[in-house]
Amino acid sequence: MTAALLAVAMLLAACAILPAIDPPRVTLAGIESVAFEGMELRMLVKLRVQNPNGVALDYDGIDVQLSLQGKGVARGVSDERGSVPRYGEAIVALPVTISLMDLGRQALSIFKGAGGPIHYAIEGKLGSPLLGATRFHSQGELALPLPGMSADDAAVRDPEGNPL
């Protein structure tokens, strides 16, 4: 019984000395069209992953979902391995699939709202060989260019309204 209590105490002490890990900041860095496959569009999404921690963020796989107006439109996974340096950033590229049916529905709802900002969200996780999964979430707004609108007005914006 004493050995079990000692083991539990040591485990709790070990957990207490692990550094607190802040979630990475992930933003959309680019999208490239790859191919049409049946009723799907395949794209290569590039994500900028920023690590706000004092230790490198090693990852072994990534899972991501992109949403527009609260509806998921693109999903992707990759078994890519890599590391984001401490207080650094890296570009991670992964293939995503977009259902043309989902995309069509989203396009109709966006055009019905003519001129309003388009809310986007990026959610996912970076798999880690040691820490399990590190989850991330990022959101912002896109403005569709309309006649007479400047490039600044049509910029991608963060939740505070600042251009990215």
Work out the number of other CB atoms within 10 angstroms of the CB of residue 108: 10
Distance CA 67, CA 138 (A): 10
Q: State pLDDT tens for residues 46-79.
A: 999 999 999 999 999 999 999 988 888 899 999 9
Distance CA 120, CA 128 (A): 26
> pLDDT below 70 — which residues of the chain?
1, 3-19, 113-115, 131, 144-164
Q: Domain 20-142 class? A: mainly beta
* pLDDT given at position 90: 96
Residues 6+ apart with CB under 8 A from 10: none
Question: Considering the entire predicted model, what is its pTM?
Answer: 0.70
